[in-house]
Amino acid sequence: MNPLSKFLFELQEISILVWRSVKGLYKGPRYVSEITRQMDSIGVGSLVIVILTGFFTGGVLILQAFPTFEYYGLQTQVGKSVSTSLIRELGPVLTALMVAGRVGSAIAAELGSMVVSQQIDAMRALGTSPIRKLVTPRVIALIMMLPLLTVAADTFGIIGGGIVSSQIFDLDTSLYITSVRNGVTIQDLIGGIIKPVFFAFIIGFISCHKGLTTQGGTVGVGTSTTSSVVLSSILVIIADFFISRLLQTIFGVSLI
């Protein structure tokens, strides 16, 4: 199968998976306990990684940007630069990439293992829908938790930037906080929440699709896991461009 045919075939398979998952929302059972378990695994399990990523990202942004701002006499505005960069772009994208690496790989590996051990076939034989039981709860949990994880990354990124600016560059903390407060707009916050929802959608369905289409035994599980992380990461970065352009169209270029 040539690359174009393979791409179109996978696109068709993912579209069917999305349709069946959405259609399954209107039918029971809804497996609320499974959704809750996935939310705990995704949200709480990824919290430490996301916090560390956000904290040191904010710190290194200040570390690199402060000398330039100081050269132009704008050091009191450095908090605005960091908060804007984190909330608009770096927070949502870096959080999504971390979650794709940790959660997306785990989903693909788990579902892939169930496929090669024929557990999926057993579920179908017992009359249970694998999509409703396995896919929908994971996607819903991702859509609910990724925006919250992004907020955590943004918050600790701003905190990390404040600590670096005060401890290394002796910037008054009140000036940093004022700069952050003046720099963040409601449009930034809306955009920073909208992006993770789309990213969660991408990560969830790509990972589930790769897991459910695993072939070749245990070797295939590793292949599916790797391809799910790579494809999810690439699509997150591509989607970020188009979502950012859409937000610019809606809110105005100067705001987003």
% of the chain exceeding 70 in pLDDT: 97
In angstroms, the CA 204 to CA 28 distance is 21
The parent domain of residue 73 ranges over 31-251
The CA distance from 197 to 240, in Å, is: 11
Determine the pLDDT at residue 92: 94
* Number of domains composing the chain: 1
Residue 10 lies in a domain: no
Predicted confidence at residue 253, as pLDDT, reads 55
- Note whether residue 191 is domain-resident: yes
Residue 24 has pLDDT above 90, yes or no: no
Is 230 buried (19+), middle (13-18) or exposed (0-12) by CB count in 10 A? middle
Give the pLDDT confidence of 66-93 residue by residue, as tens digits: 888 888 888 888 888 889 999 989 999 9
Reported as a pLDDT band with limits 50, 70 and 90, residue 256 is very low
Structural domain includes residue 17 = no
Within the chain, where are the H helices?
A: 3-24, 32-39, 45-71, 78-85, 91-99, 105-116, 119-125, 130, 136-167, 173-183, 186-212, 217-251
Classify residue 99: in a domain, yes or no: yes
| Model pLDDT for residues 226-248, shown as the tens digit of each residue | 999 999 999 999 999 999 999 88
CA distances to 9, 15, 18 from 12, rounded to whole Å, are 5, 5, 10
Structural domain includes residue 13: no
Residue 53 and residue 95 in contact, taking contact as beta carbons nearer than 8 Å: yes
Judge whether 201 lies within some domain: yes
> Is 54 part of any domain?
yes
Q: Is residue 255 scored above 50 in pLDDT?
A: no
Query: pLDDT per residue over 123-149, tens digit each?
Result: 888 878 888 889 999 999 999 999 999
Quote the percentage of the chain above a pLDDT of 90: 46
Question: Does the predicted TM-score (pTM) go above 0.75?
Answer: yes
Per-residue pLDDT of 161-208, as tens digits, reads 999 998 988 888 888 898 898 888 888 899 899 999 999 999 999 999
Residue 252 reports pLDDT greater than 80: no
